[in-house]
């Protein structure tokens, strides 16, 4: 996450001093930026905040847009609001503070053969030091008009005799942070291209020729220094192919690994399984039955299962996992179920303990703070010993289960809930576990089932999940009532909603009120807003009700404040809400609200327009988990027609897959998945729904792996793929 830092002056880099590097010391993609003399030590920390550490990172810091300053105009032809480039001679330079002494002002005039125009810079002292009378310069910017006539404010400029870097071309605009401007990146990249001689290209030349794509050197130059838009688009096409090609290579390698690996075939007694299913307090949906058949068929095979279970909110993924775990236990084998948070791990443990109550199979909980075996709290060494001896057949845990001292007796099945929410190193460890047994049996690979509650549009499954077999739970239990969703924009609608909350609570129900928390930089401000709103609701709106508060700055687990006073924790607040100690829970969206509270029947989502549709659907799934009629109210902060049209999709349907498709179409895959979360760059995200590109990339990946499965004959591609694996996540 980009953090604000103190700004430094980069004026000398803009036009006055040519880019200088040690002429003897040429560098490579892997050269640390600390070894480049033009990059000062103070700047390195700022670059690191943008995850830029070496020359390769700088080259792959792509522009997110371009300013078109290709048109060079005579001054006498200008009109307000035009963006253009001017070339002329500097005259009449003045510098000083404005009469209110609030800002430093530099003013000059630029003259060409047709006339002259004023140029003004605010709070840019270096301009007065750099510009000299009679200097021939090129300036680019937007023309405006004030009381004295036409003017350009804060235009970019450079000597007209120099190659165009900041003016007179398609000027790239980069993702920035305080102290690092687009001018800085343009200047540094100019020098890098002058000094970098080798551009090792991981994609074989024959593929590039077949697909009419530019070499890596050309593509990098085109994206940073495009002559026309055509060149930048060609570069983006090349990099989009690269990312999709790497995704498909990795997916196909993982698929081949599972297809050639030896798994432990798990047979089952059909009568015993039916007896187990009859203990459920509900009837399986048709979708659950279909998915159950797919998973049981996988478990019978000697090839280990490698499947993604993609299910909507409340579709019953845990039950499906429980049936697979039952089969493993009946075979005398163990199942490890991993959840990304302690709250969710405990929730799974409680659910499975109830489900397996009649089977007498041992169940354990292993997290950072909880070690439970057959309902009893035990020490860590005791639980480790029991797991390694095969006593609990089902072990539920967090990333704590991934530690090196955890050993299993006969691990046959790994189930992972919301795998994308594990950290990079944890995902790597999960990947390792999925094809390397921890029980000492090196030949046998555990079956692997990944579950997600975020409905993933089928258009994305080939791109992101090409290495997995897919199962879809797109049907809710038959006894569930549809959640009534309404958009509320007026004060009267808000008051009616509050009245409904009072009415529902009088019937014994509970309610959520969710506040947005989008940017880390706004965290404290928005937490304060949630605290203030909690106080307002408690004192003015619901003075007779018990209202809990949950936000990101609260400690996750048990701790103590100064003076020995115990702090209220997220975990305790959620547990208290579930146990009905609170009627209403006010929470920011950054905290884990996925706790199962069947008694909650109303959820209000404030500033709903700040969330994607898929995320709003996830929040809506916090209610409607029992037989009670449930309600979701969306309170947008803005009343724009476009916002309400988007939110109305949630009023019309509760089908998570349909909503995800709509969200994908409106916001694009980058916003749908979260670029930072996946590690995928914007260019790749933009093309995740480009099925033609995905298909081409997959075919090329199949072709090269058929001839060179381990990429032994393609060392550059092998190295690039390893770096790619470190950066992104595939299920």
Structure confidence at residue 5 (pLDDT): 27
**Alpha carbon distance 631, 403 (integer Å):** 42
Average pLDDT, stretch 292-308? Answer: 92
Q: Which residue has the higher pLDDT, 591 or 201?
A: 201
Q: Which residue has the higher pLDDT, 594 or 508?
A: 508
Count Cα atoms within 13 angstroms, Cβ side, for 561.
8
**Alpha carbon distance 489, 42 (integer Å):** 48
Residue 430 has pLDDT above 80, yes or no: no
- Residues of the chain with pLDDT > 70: what percent? 84
Structure confidence at residue 563 (pLDDT): 44
Q: Residue 573, Cα to own-chain centre: how many angstroms? A: 27
- Inside any domain, residue 494: yes
Residue 44 has pLDDT above 50, yes or no: yes
Domain identity same for 359 and 234: no
Structure confidence at residue 520 (pLDDT): 42
Average pLDDT, stretch 586-594? Answer: 67
Q: CA dist 201 to 102, 190, 220, 239, 339, Å?
A: 52, 20, 11, 12, 39
Domain identity same for 58 and 137: no
Judged by DSSP in three states, 140 sits in strand
- Inside any domain, residue 685: no
Judged by DSSP in three states, 591 sits in coil
Q: CA dist 620 to 326, 418, 484, 513, Å?
A: 31, 18, 10, 11
- The mean predicted confidence, pLDDT, of the chain is 83
Top mean-pLDDT range of 18-22, 367-371, 418-422: 367-371
Residue 438 has pLDDT above 60, yes or no: no
Q: Which residues contact 48 (CB under 8 A, 6 or more apart)?
A: none
Structure confidence at residue 453 (pLDDT): 78
Buried b (16+ CB within 10 A) or exposed e, 347-377: bbbebbbebbeebebbbbbbbeebbbbeeee
Domain identity same for 36 and 179: yes
Range of the domain at 54: 1-64+174-198
CATH of the domain at 121: 2.40.50.140
Residue 423 has pLDDT above 70, yes or no: no
Domain identity same for 121 and 245: no
- Inside any domain, residue 141: yes
- Inside any domain, residue 458: yes
Q: How many domains does the chain have?
A: 5
Average pLDDT, stretch 160-173? Answer: 87
Domain identity same for 22 and 36: yes
Average pLDDT, stretch 337-342? Answer: 88
Domain identity same for 231 and 324: no
What percent of the residues of the chain are helix, what percent strand, and what percent coil, each to the nearest 5? 45, 20, 40
Q: How confident is the model at residue 642 (pLDDT cuts 50, 70, 90)?
A: low
- Domain end point (choices 434, 449, 473): 473
Asked whether 486 and 633 are in contact (CB, 8 A), the reply is yes
φ, ψ for residue 340 (rounded to 5)? -75, -20
Q: Which tokens go with 214?
A: 């530019």
Average pLDDT, stretch 105-130? Answer: 87
Residue 556 has pLDDT above 80, yes or no: no
Domain identity same for 616 and 700: no
**Alpha carbon distance 303, 295 (integer Å):** 13
Structure confidence at residue 669 (pLDDT): 64
Helices and strands per DSSP (H, E), number in the chain = 25, 25
Sheet of 306-311: strand order equals 376-377, 371-373, 363-366, 394-397, 334-338, 411-417, 447-452, 306-311, 469-473
Average pLDDT, stretch 586-606? Answer: 79
- Inside any domain, residue 20: yes
- Inside any domain, residue 620: yes
Domain identity same for 220 and 351: no
Structure confidence at residue 312 (pLDDT): 80
Domain identity same for 438 and 552: no
**Alpha carbon distance 501, 4 (integer Å):** 41
Average pLDDT, stretch 534-540? Answer: 89
Q: How confident is the model at residue 661 (pLDDT cuts 50, 70, 90)?
A: confident
Q: Which of 174-178, 528-532, 576-580 has the lowest mean pLDDT?
A: 528-532
Residue 434 has pLDDT above 70, yes or no: no
User: Length of the chain in residues, anyone?
Assistant: 731
**Alpha carbon distance 71, 68 (integer Å):** 8
241-288 pLDDT, tens per residue? 998 899 889 888 888 888 888 888 999 899 999 999 999 988 899 999
- Inside any domain, residue 451: yes
Q: Which residues contact 155 (CB under 8 A, 6 or more apart)?
A: 119, 121, 139, 140, 141
Q: How confident is the model at residue 442 (pLDDT cuts 50, 70, 90)?
A: low
Domain identity same for 146 and 49: no
φ, ψ for residue 327 (rounded to 5)? -60, -45
Q: How many CB atoms lie within 10 A of CB 64?
A: 13
Q: How confident is the model at residue 490 (pLDDT cuts 50, 70, 90)?
A: confident
Domain identity same for 405 and 437: yes
- Inside any domain, residue 670: no
Residue 178 has pLDDT above 90, yes or no: no
Q: How confident is the model at residue 321 (pLDDT cuts 50, 70, 90)?
A: very high
Residue 113 has pLDDT above 70, yes or no: yes
Asked whether 613 and 672 are in contact (CB, 8 A), the reply is no
Residue 619 has pLDDT above 90, yes or no: no
Asked whether 253 and 705 are in contact (CB, 8 A), the reply is yes
Q: How confident is the model at residue 677 (pLDDT cuts 50, 70, 90)?
A: very low
Q: How many CB atoms lie within 10 A of CB 445?
A: 26
CATH of the domain at 528: 3.40.50.300
Q: How confident is the model at residue 104 (pLDDT cuts 50, 70, 90)?
A: confident
Asked whether 434 and 426 are in contact (CB, 8 A), the reply is no
Q: CA dist 153 to 48, 141, 148, 176, 333, Å?
A: 32, 8, 13, 21, 72
Residue 102 has pLDDT above 50, yes or no: yes
Q: Which of 44-48, 445-449, 726-730 has the lowest mean pLDDT?
A: 726-730
470-481 pLDDT, tens per residue? 888 888 777 778
Average pLDDT, stretch 288-305? Answer: 93
Residue 23 has pLDDT above 50, yes or no: no
Domain identity same for 387 and 433: yes
Structure confidence at residue 10 (pLDDT): 26
Q: Residue 45, exposed/middle/buried by CB under 10 A (0-12, 13-18, 19+)?
A: exposed
């Amino acid at each position: 996450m980009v953090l604000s830092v103190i700004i430094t002056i980069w004026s000398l880099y803009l036009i006055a001093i040519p880019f200088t590097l040690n002429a003897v010391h040429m560098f490579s993609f892997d050269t640390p930026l600390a070894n480049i003399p033009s990059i000062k030590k103070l700047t390195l920390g700022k670059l690191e905040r943008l995850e830029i550490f070496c020359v390769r990172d700088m080259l792959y810091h792509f522009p997110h847009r371009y300013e078109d300053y290709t048109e060079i105009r005579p001054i006498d032809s200008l009109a307000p609001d035009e963006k253009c480039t001017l070339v002329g001679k500097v005259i009449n330079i003045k510098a000083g503070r404005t009469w209110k002494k609030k800002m430093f002002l530099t003013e000059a005039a630029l003259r060409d053969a047709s006339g002259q125009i004023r140029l003004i810079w605010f709070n840019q002292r270096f301009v007065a030091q750099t510009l000299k009378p009679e200097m021939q310069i090129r300036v680019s910017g937007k023309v405006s008009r004030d009381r004295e006539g036409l003017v350009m404010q804060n235009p970019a400029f450079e000597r007209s005799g120099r190659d165009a870097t900041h003016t007179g071309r398609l000027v790239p605009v980069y993702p920035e942070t305080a102290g690092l401007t687009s001018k800085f990146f343009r200047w540094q990249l100019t020098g890098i291209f002058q000094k970098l001689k080798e551009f090792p290209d991981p994609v074989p030349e024959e593929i590039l020729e077949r697909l009419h794509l530019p070499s890596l050197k050309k593509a990098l130059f085109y994206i940073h220094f495009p002559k026309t838009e055509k060149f930048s688009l060609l570069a983006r096409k090349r990099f989009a192919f690269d990312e999709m090609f790497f995704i498909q290579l990795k997916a196909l390698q993982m698929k081949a690994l599972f297809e050639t690996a030896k798994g432990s075939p798990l047979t089952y007694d059909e009568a015993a399984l039916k007896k187990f299913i009859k203990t459920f307090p509900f009837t399986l949906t048709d979708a659950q039955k279909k998915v159950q058949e797919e998973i049981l068929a996988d478990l019978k095979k000697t090839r280990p299962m490698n499947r993604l279970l993609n299910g909507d909110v409340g579709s019953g993924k845990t039950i499906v996992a429980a049936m697979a775990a039952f089969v493993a236990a009946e075979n005398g084998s163990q199942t490890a179920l991993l959840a990304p948070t302690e709250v969710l791990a405990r929730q799974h443990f409680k659910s499975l303990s109830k489900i397996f109550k009649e089977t007498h199979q041992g169940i354990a909980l292993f997290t950072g703070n909880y070690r439970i075996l057959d309902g009893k709290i035990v020490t860590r060494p005791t639980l480790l010993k029991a797991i390694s001896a095969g006593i609990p057949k089902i072990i539920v845990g967090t990333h704590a289960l991934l530690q090196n001292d955890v050993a299993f007796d006969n691990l046959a099945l790994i189930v992972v809930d919301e795998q994308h929410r594990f950290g990079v190193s944890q995902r790597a460890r999960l990947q390792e576990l999925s094809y390397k047994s921890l029980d000492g049996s090196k030949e046998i690979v555990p079956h692997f089932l990944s579950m997600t509650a975020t409905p993933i549009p089928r258009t994305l499954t080939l791109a992101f999940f090409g290495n997995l077999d897919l199962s879809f739970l797109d049907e809710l239990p038959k006894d569930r009532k549809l959640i009534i969703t309404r958009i509320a924009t007026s004060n009267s609608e808000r008051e009616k909603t509050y009245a409904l909350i009072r009415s529902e609570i009088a019937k014994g129900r509970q309610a959520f009120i969710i506040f947005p928390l989008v940017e880390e930089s706004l965290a404290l401000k928005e937490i304060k807003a949630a605290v203030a709103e909690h106080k307002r609701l408690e004192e003015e709106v619901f003075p007779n009700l018990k209202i809990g508060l949950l936000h990101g700055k609260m400690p996750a687990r048990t701790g103590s404040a100064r003076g020995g006073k115990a702090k209220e924790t997220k975990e305790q607040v959620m547990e208290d809400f579930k146990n009905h100690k609170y009627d209403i829970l006010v929470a920011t969206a950054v905290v884990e609200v996925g706790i199962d509270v069947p008694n909650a029947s109303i959820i209000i989502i404030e500033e709903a327009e700040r969330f994607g549709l898929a995320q709003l659907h996830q929040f809506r799934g916090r209610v409607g988990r029992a037989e009670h009629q449930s309600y979701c109210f969306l309170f947008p902060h803005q009343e724009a027609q476009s916002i309400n049209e988007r939110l109305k999709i949630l009023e019309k349907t509760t089908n998570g897959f349909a909503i995800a498709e709509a969200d994908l179409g409106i916001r694009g895959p980058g916003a749908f998945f979260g670029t930072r979360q996946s590690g995928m760059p914007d260019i790749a995200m933009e093309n995740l729904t480009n099925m033609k590109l995905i298909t081409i990339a997959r075919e090329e990946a199949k072709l090269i792996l058929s001839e060179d499965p381990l990429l032994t004959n393609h060392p550059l591609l092998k190295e690039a793929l390893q770096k790619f694996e470190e950066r992104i996540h595939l299920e």
